[in-house]
Amino acid sequence: MEKWQNQTEKQMLEQIRSSIGKVQLPVDSYNEQIMNRIEHMEIKGGSKLIKKTLAAACVAVMIGLGTVTAGFISPVWADTLSQFPVFSSIFKHTDPGLKLAAEKGLTTSPNMSVTKDGVTLSVTEVFYDGTRLAIGFERAGIMDERVLAEITDFKTHDFDQSTKGLLGLPVVTQVSGEPISFGSSSTGDVEGQAQTLLLELNELRNTAALGDEFKVDISVPVAQIAEPFEFQVTVKKVTEGVINLTPGQGASKGSFHYTVKSLDITPATLRLIVTSEGEVPASAEQTGEYAPTEVFYELVDDAGNVINPRQMGYAMAKAVQHPILDNLYNTFPQIPKTITIRPYTCTFDSELNLLLDANGERVKTYHKELETTIVIP
């Protein structure tokens, strides 16, 4: 390979294109994605970007020669690869559970790409543990820093199409056409990872019958492009390190009683399903102009680590009783020996404002009588 020291930046880019174009990459989409990165860097210019481009070119050549393997890559190169978006896990920039899953190699990489009208969209990473399905996307060909468009109607999935290349909400279905059913979802740009989007479907309801490996169809609408981008992706369930319990344990206070219907622990997620009945308990401080909220369930492991549901929304009404709650939590640092369920309520004033402490946190009223401890086998 010729030396680059005396070349202009334009000549460097041409050299890179030539080098990458001659290499047969093991994953077809990498060549195109690297070329898109080069175009992006060429427009922006700058010495730092040129250095990244040169690193990308070297990575491409190394892959073509078969030298990027677990046995030969150096720590310096590993760090370089992790900084280059084509090779970096989207999930490492998200919540602790998905980050841990990516670090343990529990995700799959479909590396599927579709290009339409100058816009390329790729499905880069998938994670499924029976409780949630996470899908990472990467976009190329568009310079806008935004990836997800403003959703103008969540019921119809209508979105702002004034800027070409912005993505609408992805839709995931079984190959039969039946939608993947879930309790909650989130979709958004991935902070710290440009041109990427993360879709999460949580508290999955109809995937267990599909087995440990199945296909899903994904459709992603894109602004100012007539037809959606469509993919059929194989989903593989993580089974290692998964614990599924049906404790049937619970506790009572007054007329209120709850039962832990199921507790599922995976390397990336903890899911708690609770059924309850009776009147929400109230403390002496939650009477008169004050009143309790619904009951929340905090989890504590044997090492004293505390976790709360990932989504901490609440009903804007006093003492709401939920017959069934399906909550998702981030994982504990390691599989615990025991998990204690600590129910608590917060407090509304007469105008349904939550009482807050000096740090701006919700004031919690714990109910010791309602605690129950589950032994993890």
pLDDT digits (tens, 9 = 90+) for 159-177: 999 999 999 999 999 999 9
Instruction: Give per-residue pLDDT as tens, 51-93.
Output: 333 444 444 434 333 333 333 444 444 444 444 444 468 998 8
How many other CB atoms sit within 10 Å of the CB of residue 114? 17
pLDDT at 283 over 80: yes
Q: Which parts of the chain are beta strand (E)? A: 112-116, 119-128, 133-140, 151-153, 158-159, 171-174, 184-189, 196-202, 213-220, 229-236, 243-245, 250-253, 256-265, 270-277, 291-301, 306-307, 324-329, 338-348, 365-366, 372-375
49: left (phi over 0), alpha (psi -120 to 50) or beta: alpha
Compute the distance between CA of residue 32 and CA of residue 48 in angstroms, rounded to an integer. Answer: 22
- DSSP symbols for 242-307: -EEE----EEEETTEEEEEEEEEE-SS-EEEEEEEESPPP--GGGSTT-EEEEEEEEEEETT--EE
Instruction: Give per-residue pLDDT as tens, 210-248.
Output: 999 999 999 999 999 999 999 999 999 999 889 999 999
Instruction: Give per-residue pLDDT as tens, 348-364.
Output: 999 999 999 999 999 99
Instruction: Give per-residue pLDDT as tens, 138-159.
Output: 999 999 999 999 999 999 999 9
Mean pLDDT, the chain, rounded, equals 83
Q: Are 269 and 263 in contact (CB under 8 A)?
A: no
What are 148's two structure tokens? 């997800």
The model's pTM is 0.73
Question: How far is Cα of residue 323 from the mean position of the Cα atoms in its chain?
Answer: 28
Local confidence band at 94 (pLDDT 50, 70, 90 cut-offs) = confident
* pLDDT for position 341: 98
- Beta-carbon contacts of residue 198 (< 8 Å; ≥ 6 apart): 90, 91, 94, 134, 135, 136, 137, 186, 187, 188, 189, 190
* pLDDT for position 14: 54
Instruction: Give per-residue pLDDT as tens, 20-43.
Output: 444 444 344 444 444 444 444 433
**Dihedral angle of Cα 167, 171, 172, 177, to the nearest 10 degrees:** -140
Compute the distance between CA of residue 332 and CA of residue 16 in angstroms, rounded to an integer. Answer: 45
Mean per-residue pLDDT for 292-296? 97
% of the chain residues with pLDDT over 70: 77
Which DSSP letter does residue 315 get? -
Compute the distance between CA of residue 326 and CA of residue 7 in angstroms, rounded to an integer. Answer: 60
